[in-house]
Amino acid sequence: MKKRIKDSLFRISDYFDNNLLFKAVRQGLVMMIPLLVSGSVALMLSNLPFPTYQKFLSTFWNGRIAAFLGFISSASYGSFAIGLSLTTSFSYAMNRPKKEGDSRGDAITVILLTMVTLIGFSGIQYEDFSTTALGTNNIFTALFISLICSVLFFKIKDTGRFRMRRHGMEADNCYAEAVSGIVPSLFIVAVFAILRQVFVAVFHVDSVQGLLEVIVSRLLVSIENGLIVAIAILLLTHCMWIVGIHGSNVLEPVMQENFVRISQEAVYNKTFQDVFVLMGGTGAVLCLVFSILLFSKKSSIKSIAGLSLPTVFFNISELISFGLPVILNPIFVIPYLLVPVVLCIISYAAIYIGIVPHVIHQVEWTTPIFLSGYLATGSIAGSILQAVCLAAGILIYLPFLRLFEEHGERQLVKNVKELTKELQRQEAANAIMPLTERKDTLGGVARLLSADLKDAVKDKKLFFVYQPQVDTEEKCIGAEALIRWIHPIAGFIYPPLIIQLAREENLLHDIEAYLFDEAAHAISEIEKVIHTEFKISVNITNESLAWEDFEHCLADTVSKYHISPKRLWLEITEQDALVSSKEMLDKIQRLKEQGHIFLIDDFGMGHTSLLYLQTNHFGVVKLDGSLTKDILQNDRNKNIITAITELGKSLHFKTIAEYVETEEQKNLLLVLGCDGFQGYYYSKPITLEELVPWMEHHKGKT
């Protein structure tokens, strides 16, 4: 039963994550975090409850510091609805599945259309227009308009009926796109113009949020102040918040009319709510932040909590609510609603039975926890009550935090698999694009993996396994060192993905230096037991050859472990060999003269010029796996391999076949002239501790 509930919750969360509308709102809110935080911090600094500090603000430099903070908070909050409508419509345009005929200008058109519609819907044409309609008091209206505008615009555009026929105007695509947007824009603005008149005529309000305020006021008008009304207000507020509506602003008229006055008769009032219930802001998210900092095992989540901690102490919740996220997150719905209700009941009971004094002073909502409890009640008991509530909230949030982390882990595993498939598609098309620069979900996953890879390199969490290679007599001639990374959540990471991310994050040289050191160490350990000829080959890239310290790094490593360079072979892929410059080829020649043997890996894909073999830089060719995998069924592959092995005999290079998985495959490759074999038929990649006895068994001592 528990598993079914959890799976259902995860499915709902996946739906929210993938639904275009919810994704647009989430990303729109996230993009507003800088504006929110700057305004909130300015407001916090303006309202610190210290008389000396307040006097300083009002008198220093003729009150210009206070005016400066007021400017920031007013500008941030006063334009919030406009900003949110723009970021939400932009997110919708960027995340919608791209279709033929889409252009970058569509996003700009939708943004402008949304802004114009919001301003017009807010009544800028009337004398009683107030700029407050464009601030935080109108968040829901902004979301409503931005989503409707975005959906309608693209639905109309996708019909193609109003697209302008260009007839020789191909050079002026911008003009054609702008003209094509005229009809959709006029239609949408007209729809909202009519809708506003309906709101005014029927409901006597001028916004969607105003309609919500009327409904809430009528619901609560007949309820007397008490615990029931407190719970009702909290649930209404948080139900709005959980879907992105600023519930506190919607209920502000109700709170101002009925619950501002402090009295000994009524326990519940706005200060009671701000001090004992909304600790950290809506959802009592300070409890969630402490739950994360105390119990979370994920550094990424802890970093968000740590970043938001200074603001939630002053009841500013947006950074954690939008950044984690909590808003529009089904997993946090229950604790987000439950914690404030539980804290309200605990605090109400403590004050009602006299354990804690009544609230006797109004306290600004940005006053930090513990100080606010003391100031509101005039007693340390108020602070102790806040501590008790904080502990209760932490415990309630904890199991849901575990669920959130588990869902995140499942999602990461799924996304890493998709990222791997995307890289494999690019490899097949020979068109690798930067993964960390992508603006979609896979780009976010690539950046997350890149950050984890940096830590893994720093902490030496990467490791190497070795796949043995044998000659025609099935005697071990050495092994290839293969990089591995077991991510703590995503598990085994596709090795080419490791290299690609390392390349993009400038980690490649650090990894290669570590690889050379591990390979040289492996050679020195094997030499203690195996006294016949063998080698360990390592993979390098063009970036390796372009690395200024590449030769010094190799020389230092060989010297450190007192090994012969002829035991440390270097593999470079055919594609990298193709684009090697003269300077790189000269570097290859110098290293070859020192004793290192170079191999061309994945030979046979059709990109390499035979000139590279004529230069005698490469002593070994490793056949591309696509040639050897289906050799039993593909006569053309047999002919290609025969041609390569015969060429090897004439140009004096060896041929090693990879991906040898069956005896029949090995026997045919032997007949075709291959000099060495590597694959699961002989051994999977194994650790150094396993490699030494394997080599002993397949070659023995002399």
- Evaluate whether 246 touches 240 at the Cβ level (below 8 Å): yes
pLDDT band at 653 (very low <50, low <70, confident <90, very high): confident
**What is the DSSP pairing of strand 598-603 with strand 676-677?**
unpaired
SS3 466: strand
Amino acid at 466: Y
CB burial string 518-555: b at 16+ within 10 A, e below: bbbbbbeebeeebeeebbbbbbbbbbbbebeebeebbe
- What is the SS3 string spanning 34-88? HHHHHHHHHHHHHCCCCHHHHHHHHHHHHHHHHHHHHHHHHHHHHCHHHHHHHHH
Residue (of 22, 160, 181, 190) closest to 108 by Cα position: 181
Chain segment 126-180, per-residue pLDDT in tens: 777 777 778 777 777 888 889 999 988 888 877 766 565 555 545 456 666 677 7
Query: What are the helix (H) ranges across 137-246?
Result: 139-159, 173-180, 182-198, 208-220, 227-242
User: What pLDDT is recorded for position 224?
Assistant: 61
Q: How far apart are CA 56 and CA 54, in angstroms?
A: 5
Q: How far apart are CA 645 and CA 459, in angstroms?
A: 43
- Evaluate whether 485 touches 540 at the Cβ level (below 8 Å): no
pLDDT band at 480 (very low <50, low <70, confident <90, very high): very high
Q: How far apart are CA 635 and CA 625, in angstroms?
A: 15
Chain segment 548-598, per-residue pLDDT in tens: 888 888 999 999 999 999 999 998 876 666 556 677 778 888 888 888 988
Burial of 156 (0-12, 13-18, 19+ CB in 10 A): middle
Lowest mean pLDDT among 179-183, 218-222, 444-448: 218-222
Q: How far apart are CA 523 and CA 534, in angstroms?
A: 9
Task: Return the sign of the alpha-carbon dihedral for residues 225, 230, 231, 237.
Answer: positive
pTM of the model as a whole: 0.74
User: What pLDDT is recorded for position 254?
Assistant: 64
Residue (of 462, 490, 568, 576) closest to 522 by Cα position: 568
User: What pLDDT is recorded for position 610?
Assistant: 59
User: What pLDDT is recorded for position 308?
Assistant: 86
| Number of Cβ atoms within 10 Å of the Cβ of 27 | 19
Pick 201 or 575 by higher pLDDT.
201
Q: How far apart are CA 53 and CA 46, in angstroms?
A: 9
For residue 654, give the H/E element and its range.
Answer: strand 654-657
- Evaluate whether 504 touches 436 at the Cβ level (below 8 Å): yes
Q: What percent of the chain stands above pLDDT 70?
A: 87
Mean pLDDT along residues 516-536: 90
Q: How far apart are CA 378 and CA 12, in angstroms?
A: 46
- Evaluate whether 661 touches 680 at the Cβ level (below 8 Å): yes
Give φ, ψ of 484 to 5 degrees. -140, 145
User: What pLDDT is recorded for position 100?
Assistant: 64
The residues, ordered by sequence, that sit 6+ positions from 692 with a Cβ below 8 Å of its Cβ are: 525, 526, 529, 530
**What is the DSSP pairing of strand 491-492 with strand 486-487?**
antiparallel
User: What pLDDT is recorded for position 252?
Assistant: 67
Chain segment 277-286, per-residue pLDDT in tens: 999 988 999 9
User: What pLDDT is recorded for position 700?
Assistant: 44
Mean pLDDT along residues 292-309: 88
Amino acid at 482: L
DSSP 8-state code for residue 160: -
Judge if the upstream peptide bond of residue 325 is cis by omega within 30 degrees of 0.
yes
Amino acid at 635: D
Residues of the chain with CATH 3.20.20.450: 444-698
Helix axes 2-18, 20-31, angle to 10 degrees: 70
Give φ, ψ of 172 to 5 degrees. -120, 65
Chain segment 57-87, per-residue pLDDT in tens: 888 888 888 888 888 888 888 888 888 889 9
Residue (of 590, 606, 490, 579) closest to 550 by Cα position: 590
Q: How far apart are CA 93 and CA 107, in angstroms?
A: 5
CA distances from 458 to 244, 329, 507, 619, 675 (A): 40, 34, 10, 34, 39
User: What pLDDT is recorded for position 264?
Assistant: 64
Most confident of 361-370, 396-405, 545-554: 396-405
Give φ, ψ of 471 to 5 degrees. -95, -170
Q: How far apart are CA 206 and CA 36, in angstroms?
A: 25
User: Tokens in use for 453?
Assistant: 């890879």
Residue (of 294, 289, 347, 343) closest to 316 by Cα position: 289
Q: How far apart are CA 520 and CA 291, in angstroms?
A: 46
Chain segment 263-276, per-residue pLDDT in tens: 666 777 888 888 99
End-to-end CA distance of the chain: 65
CA distances from 312 to 44, 48, 316, 571 (A): 11, 14, 5, 54
* CB half-sphere exposure, 57, CA atoms < 13 A: 18
Q: What number does CATH give the domain 444-698? A: 3.20.20.450
Mean pLDDT along residues 541-546: 80
SS3 467: strand
DSSP 8-state code for residue 325: T
pLDDT band at 258 (very low <50, low <70, confident <90, very high): low
Q: How far apart are CA 474 and CA 458, in angstroms?
A: 39
- Evaluate whether 244 touches 279 at the Cβ level (below 8 Å): no
pLDDT at 702 over 50: no
Q: How far apart are CA 236 and CA 560, in angstroms?
A: 70
User: Which residue in the block uniquely carries the two structure tokens 């000099």?
Assistant: 675
Residue (of 618, 351, 622) closest to 469 by Cα position: 622
- Evaluate whether 631 touches 668 at the Cβ level (below 8 Å): yes
Lowest mean pLDDT among 315-319, 449-453, 479-483: 315-319
Taking the CA atoms of residue 429, residue 434, residue 439 and residue 441 in that order, the dihedral angle to the nearest 10 degrees is 70
